[in-house]
Amino acid sequence: MKALFVAGTGTDLGKTHVACALLAAARSRGLTVEAFKPVVSGFDPHAPDDSDPARLARALGRPEAWAEVSPRRYRAPLAPNLAARLEGDTLRMDDLVADCRDWLSTRDVELALIEGAGGVMSPMTDEATNLDLMAALGLPVLLVAGSYLGTASHLLTALEVVRARGLTIAAIVVSENLDAPDLDQTLALLRAFEQQAPILSAPRAATWDADALVDTLLA
């Protein structure tokens, strides 16, 4: 099984957009896939179809499975620890790590994705960040960045801290932002500074084909 952690250099950059495209492309090849987002905030229980868990479930071909994809769901669009506190809950890193490990141990698929919440250094609990969860799991990282002005600094900073924790970058995907600098120029700039991991692009078009990403990750 190929298991990856999908992380972002920031919030709302397109992690789920990339994950869903990757899952769909893998399924189109006949590969078995699974996805897990251990915690999600900003979840509206009255409109679950608009949520990240629902999008991932649809990409899996099991639209009814959104609750299984994200077992810890909170309403407030805040950092998970703050959103949980508003509902009388306390998130603990040991619990999140256990959730992910238990989930991984019961998967029998060719590609499994665990998607974080927010950016690499976004708080997950009162004492730990997304990076702490990533380090505890030790999975190769699929790092998603934006194409906005300033993304080079954010991406290079994220690469430094992720690698400092001993994690491997499997690939980098630059998810296109609207009203951003030319995407090809941004890719060229980033490739000049990062030459270890492959850098691919993810246009915002709904019909984006992630075949090249599948090839890169499963090579």
Tell me: the pLDDT tens digits for 153-177? 999 999 999 999 999 999 999 999 8
| pLDDT tens-digit series, residues 54-101 | 999 999 999 999 999 999 999 999 999 999 999 999 999 999 999 999
Catalytic residue among 7, 8, 37, 142: 37
Binding residues for ATP: 12-17, 52, 115-118, 175-176
SS3 of residue 151 by DSSP: helix
Give dist(CA 21, CA 19) in Å, integer: 6
Residues 6+ apart with CB under 8 A from 13: 119, 144, 145, 146, 175, 177
Confidence of residue 207 (pLDDT cuts 50, 70, 90): low
| Domain boundaries defined on the chain | 2-218
Binding residues for Mg(2+): 16, 52, 115
Handedness of CA 168, 102, 117, 207 (dihedral sign): positive
Domain 2-218 architecture? 3-Layer(aba) Sandwich (3.40)
Alpha-helix residue ranges (DSSP H) falling in the chain: 15-28, 52-59, 66-69, 80-86, 93-105, 130-137, 151-164, 183-193, 211-218
Contact 147, 189 (CB under 8 A): no
- The amino acid sitting at 162 is V
Confidence of residue 219 (pLDDT cuts 50, 70, 90): confident
- The amino acid sitting at 96 is L
First to last CA, the chain: 13
Query: Across all residues in the chain, what is the average pLDDT?
Result: 95
Q: What are phi and psi of 64, to 5 degrees?
A: -80, -5
Over its C-alpha atoms, the chain yields an Rg (Å, rounded) of 16
**2 catalytic, yes or no?**
no
Work out the average pLDDT over 195-214: 87
